[in-house]
């Protein structure tokens, strides 16, 4: 599968999120350097405070050096509910690329995950043609 296919899967996973009025619904897939899926997750998968990237990364103990994280939303760069942001968790995992569909709007916190990732040398690929799919499970938050 290519970047578009993996990112479409992440957008599909976002639709599985229990609805929330205080957090975005996000899906994430971790793909190893060999092009195979390592793990997947979505927001609030096991806990009301779970973020998608966090849920996916928690499912693997393997070395993720060279992996790619696909997320329907820019990984968070600010977080009140947990000590580490998703951007920090991705950097610590060894993943070298992040592909996302939608930049985090400043609804709950200023989106600065992309800046944290870029500063750590993680390659960022934004695929705005899938932003509409990423917004769909969040329409109730956006007034649409």
Catalytic pick from 45, 53, 54, 104?
53
Judge whether 37 counts as a catalytic residue: no
Q: Measured between alpha carbons, how far is residue 69 from residues 14, 36, 76, 108 in Å?
A: 14, 12, 13, 22
Neighbours of 5 (CB within 10 A): 10
49/132 Cα distance (integer angstroms): 24
Strands 27-31 and 37-42: antiparallel
Annotated catalytic residues are 53
């Amino acid at each position: 599968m290519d970047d578009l296919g993996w990112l479409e899967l992440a957008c599909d996973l976002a639709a599985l999120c229990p609805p929330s009025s205080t957090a975005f619904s996000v899906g994430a897939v971790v793909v190893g350097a060999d092009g195979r899926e390592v793990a997947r997750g979505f927001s609030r998968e096991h806990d009301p405070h779970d973020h998608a990237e966090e849920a996916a990364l928690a499912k693997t103990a393997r070395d993720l050096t060279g992996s790619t994280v696909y997320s329907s939303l820019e990984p968070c760069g600010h977080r009140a509910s947990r000590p580490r942001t998703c951007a920090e968790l991705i950097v610590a995992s060894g993943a070298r690329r992040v592909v996302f569909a939608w930049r985090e709007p400043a609804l709950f916190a200023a989106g600065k995950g992309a800046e944290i990732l870029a500063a750590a040398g993680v390659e960022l690929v934004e695929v705005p043609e899938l932003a509409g799919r990423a917004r769909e499970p969040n329409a109730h938050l956006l007034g649409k």
